[in-house]
Amino acid sequence: MHLRNVALALRSLTAIHSSNKPAIAFAFHPKQHQHRRMTLHSTAVEPSLTSATSTHANPLLRSWSTEPFHLPPFKSIEPRHFEPAFEIAMDAHLKDLESIANSKQEDFESILAAYDRAGATLSKVYSVYGNYVSSLNTPEMQLVQTKMAPLLSRHTSKTYNVPGLFEKISKMNEVRDDMVKSGEWTEEMGRLAERVYIKFVRMGALLGEEEKKEYADIQAELATLQTNFMQNVLKDEEEWELILTAADFEGCPPDIIAAARKAAIDRNKTQEDAHVITLGRSMVEPFLSYSTRRDLRQKVFEAFAKRGELNPERDNKKIAIEILRLRKRQAELHGKKTFAEYQLEDTMAQTPEAANKLLMDVWTKSKVAADKEREMMEAFLKESGECLESGIQPWDWRFYAEKVRLANFNFDENEMKPYFSLDAVTDAVFDVSNKLYGLKYVKRPDIVAYHPDVNVYEVRHDTADGEEELVAIFLHDNYARPYKSSGAWMSEYRTQTKNLIPGSDPIESIPIVSNNNNFAKGSDDTLLSFDDGVTLFHEMGHGHHGMLSDCTYEYLASTSVLKDFVELPSQLMEHWLSEPEVLKKHAKHHKTGEILPDELIKKFKAAELFNEGFATIEYTSCALFDIAIHSLTEYSDDFDMAKFEEDYLKEMGMPQGIIMRHRPPHFLHFFASSSYAAGYYVYMWAQVLDNDVFAAFKETGDVFDKDTAERCRKLIYSAGNTVAPQDLFRQFRGRDPEVKFMLENRGLI
């Protein structure tokens, strides 16, 4: 099994452009790197699978061939189906692996190609499970997750310890260079041998028997703790609410008020005129930006910043420390001093020092920018004769930033919103996708997924001989709702592969890709902020990574690239939304159809970089903190997470009025899975790459330049992990990445 980043996708954070940068999103935490796909399965068909027929009582185990495009049979799936399906599928997976280990054959096909196909049933069950615990995590599903997390972890450990298997994998790794050189293997086959070997080693295959046992225990315990951590955040987000009336929304634009009213109805508030503020970022940030009520802003901000510790009975700080201790021990078993060292070893950056160096460069420059922004806000206060008790606090920053934006640039973000309906932005992203990569999206309203909000599309392109061909199935789940994780992410129900189990329907090689966002649903049209639009483009970038994947082996396909490359495809896509060519065509007023006026575009461009210092500090402080806390060599019994956070930020000179975008008690990237732990820096790392790649388009004078787009498709979106990422970049750009494009685009130089 490999782990695929599944979820991946998180939107990152930080964003890049724009004003209030959204956040990031994470979401998928858990899964990530979990790979979703487990690999395995080879030609051996175990008895449990032969019974997988179209009439199997458990819809997760039956053949999905009667569903359109072999999608999961969503309407039949219930939480109770997961546990028994996992039991059978995990067993089948181990049998697949055992048959590889016991096979007399020693060739690539019998070992690595079979390894890549192994565990097909488990991959299917897991893909649905992973998507349900993020998008439909009802109380019943949460119980399933609590039960399954350690069992799945145990299973993963077992798959790396099947007797005789690692020896075979090692042999493949030893001969790979010679086989590739002699032409018997393709480059991709060589890469598969290398990556599978590295994965086994990183999962402890070289450890002694006692240590292996300890390693598996650590993984299982981490899985449970990480699940608890994530569920605690979800519970805080579900439970907390602030009931207001329309009169309490002074200063707020109508769409926020409408969204709060809708939230009140959804939560069955019967009081007349009830409006509810929830802890979703798409509601909190606009409220903080526009509410004139400082007392209410403070209340909402404090609750938002304390997610994960709002209820003392489920305080995530304690769980986080336990997680840190276990990770430290995990690293020690690998002979590393810290988890950061272990985690960074298999990345482009390779060491915590290299990641820190980039972050510190950005940190120093962004502090200067943030200080300047605060000075502008203070000047505004002085001029307007306002006096803020205790100065600009974190619940004031967004509010006064908007005031300055309006006063100094005559730009009000709200003027943009009517031009950014969800429909308009969706049309825009599909059009950009078509112009760059030739993809066409055909809506299939007749196909119902796991929730009525989810739109299903066939994604097609033209072949060389002019025929239309199916490339992928795309699921778009855009609205916030109860039991859906906050944030935004991409995931897959099926990953692209050409290495199908013999006899499979060819449709099984076509990826099924999903994008989740969390936009507050409007009562008629849903209007997005510019940042929401950036988030939607971001996730579509991950979506392209899945849909355009063109690899032979699933293990290397799609988003299964090194961590600090994975945000390149997504962040790159963000650039097109602010291109005038795209705005002029798609940013249409949702009521009148009027095109976004030039004047507004001009003002938007002028104001775009204002508050970039704030956004960069919010993100970079998290990324630095992440490496710092995972670089400790001890977490003593009296280790105090809150104090560490406070001391660290003080030492770093955190600008007054800003806090970390995600604080440790709800930092899902750190603690809901291990995949982004000591890895939050990847967004910044990838920003260096995406700004450099986008500059290549700009240099041609046409952001849709055909030749550049084709090389981008081939090297960035289709190659998966078949080639080392630094080599892909060099092939694209003819040189190593340069930091200056990112610094320029963020206005930091």
Q: DSSP E strands: which ranges in 499-565?
A: 512-519
User: Which one, 59 or 679, has the nearer CB to Zn ion?
Assistant: 679
Interface mask (CB under 5 A) for Zn ion, residues 551-570, using x and -?
Answer: ----------------x--x
Q: Which stretch binds Zn ion (CB under 5 A): 1-9, 399-407, 620-628, 698-706?
A: 1-9
Instruction: Kindly state the smallest distance separating residue 26's Cβ from Zn ion, in Å.
Output: 8
Token digits of residue 310:
């709002």
Cα three-residue angle 470-475-479, rounded to 5 degrees: 155
Q: From residue 634, how far is each of 327, 355, 630 by CA, in Å?
A: 11, 21, 10
- Identify the three-state secondary structure at position 457: strand
Residue type, 286: P
The CA distance from 249 to 283, in Å, is: 12
User: Which one, 330 or 673, has the nearer CB to Zn ion?
Assistant: 673
Q: Which stretch binds Zn ion (CB under 5 A): 8-16, 43-51, 149-157, 659-667?
A: 8-16
Instruction: Kindly state the smallest distance separating residue 163's Cβ from Zn ion, in Å.
Output: 39
Q: Write the DSSP string, 37-97.
A: PPPB--S---HHHHT--TT-SSTTTS--TTSGGG---GGG--GGGHHHHHHHHHHHHHHHH
Instruction: Kindly state the smallest distance separating residue 33's Cβ from Zn ion, in Å.
Output: 14
Instruction: Kindly state the smallest distance separating residue 413's Cβ from Zn ion, in Å.
Output: 23
Token digits of residue 400:
């006064």
The CA distance from 46 to 56, in Å, is: 16
Instruction: Kindly state the smallest distance separating residue 489's Cβ from Zn ion, in Å.
Output: 7
* Residue 491 touching Zn ion (CB under 5 A): no
Phi-psi region of 438 (alpha: psi -120 to 50; beta: other; left: phi over 0): left
The CA distance from 140 to 154, in Å, is: 22
Instruction: Kindly state the smallest distance separating residue 710's Cβ from Zn ion, in Å.
Output: 24
Phi, psi for 595 (deg, rounded to 5): -80, 145
- Size of site (CB under 5 A) for Zn ion: 6
* Residue 485 touching Zn ion (CB under 5 A): no
User: Which one, 19 or 32, has the nearer CB to Zn ion?
Assistant: 32
User: Which one, 522 or 569, has the nearer CB to Zn ion?
Assistant: 569
User: Which of 1, 6, 7, 9 touches Zn ion by CB under 5 A?
Assistant: 9
Instruction: Kindly state the smallest distance separating residue 519's Cβ from Zn ion, in Å.
Output: 17
The CA distance from 563 to 561, in Å, is: 6
User: Which one, 12 or 526, has the nearer CB to Zn ion?
Assistant: 12
Phi-psi region of 546 (alpha: psi -120 to 50; beta: other; left: phi over 0): alpha
Q: Which stretch binds Zn ion (CB under 5 A): 10-18, 582-590, 637-645, 731-739?
A: 10-18
Instruction: Kindly state the smallest distance separating residue 682's Cβ from Zn ion, in Å.
Output: 9
User: Which one, 10 or 359, has the nearer CB to Zn ion?
Assistant: 10
* Residue 535 touching Zn ion (CB under 5 A): no
Task: Answer yes or no: are the C-beta atoms of 47 and 508 closer than 8 Å.
Answer: no
User: Which one, 567 or 645, has the nearer CB to Zn ion?
Assistant: 567
Task: Answer yes or no: are the C-beta atoms of 620 and 359 closer than 8 Å.
Answer: yes
User: Which one, 99 or 515, has the nearer CB to Zn ion?
Assistant: 515
Q: Which stretch binds Zn ion (CB under 5 A): 3-11, 177-185, 217-225, 464-472?
A: 3-11
* Residue 12 touching Zn ion (CB under 5 A): yes
- Please list the residues that pair with 441 across neighbouring strands: 459
Site for Zn ion in 564-603 (CB under 5 A): 567, 570
User: Which of 10, 16, 260, 743 touches Zn ion by CB under 5 A?
Assistant: 10
Cα three-residue angle 349-350-353, rounded to 5 degrees: 75
The CA distance from 395 to 297, in Å, is: 6
The CA distance from 443 to 541, in Å, is: 19
Instruction: Kindly state the smallest distance separating residue 199's Cβ from Zn ion, in Å.
Output: 22
CA atoms lying within 13 Å on the CB side of residue 150: 11
The CA distance from 24 to 14, in Å, is: 6
* Residue 5 touching Zn ion (CB under 5 A): no
* Residue 111 touching Zn ion (CB under 5 A): no
Site for Zn ion in 507-526 (CB under 5 A): none
Instruction: Kindly state the smallest distance separating residue 533's Cβ from Zn ion, in Å.
Output: 15
Instruction: Kindly state the smallest distance separating residue 108's Cβ from Zn ion, in Å.
Output: 33
* Residue 708 touching Zn ion (CB under 5 A): no
User: Which one, 551 or 568, has the nearer CB to Zn ion?
Assistant: 568
User: Which one, 32 or 145, has the nearer CB to Zn ion?
Assistant: 32
User: Which one, 12 or 157, has the nearer CB to Zn ion?
Assistant: 12
Instruction: Kindly state the smallest distance separating residue 647's Cβ from Zn ion, in Å.
Output: 30
The CA distance from 434 to 402, in Å, is: 35
User: Which one, 370 or 425, has the nearer CB to Zn ion?
Assistant: 425
* Residue 7 touching Zn ion (CB under 5 A): no
Residue type, 377: M
Cα three-residue angle 721-725-729, rounded to 5 degrees: 130
Instruction: Kindly state the smallest distance separating residue 357's Cβ from Zn ion, in Å.
Output: 23
Task: Answer yes or no: are the C-beta atoms of 490 and 29 closer than 8 Å.
Answer: no
Tally Cβ neighbours within 10 Å of residue 740. Answer: 14
Instruction: Kindly state the smallest distance separating residue 490's Cβ from Zn ion, in Å.
Output: 7
Q: Which of 22, 18, 194, 25 is nearest to 542 (CA)?
A: 25
User: Which one, 130 or 253, has the nearer CB to Zn ion?
Assistant: 130
User: Which one, 60 or 429, has the nearer CB to Zn ion?
Assistant: 429
The CA distance from 284 to 297, in Å, is: 9
Residues engaged in binding Zn ion (CB under 5 A):
9-12, 567, 570
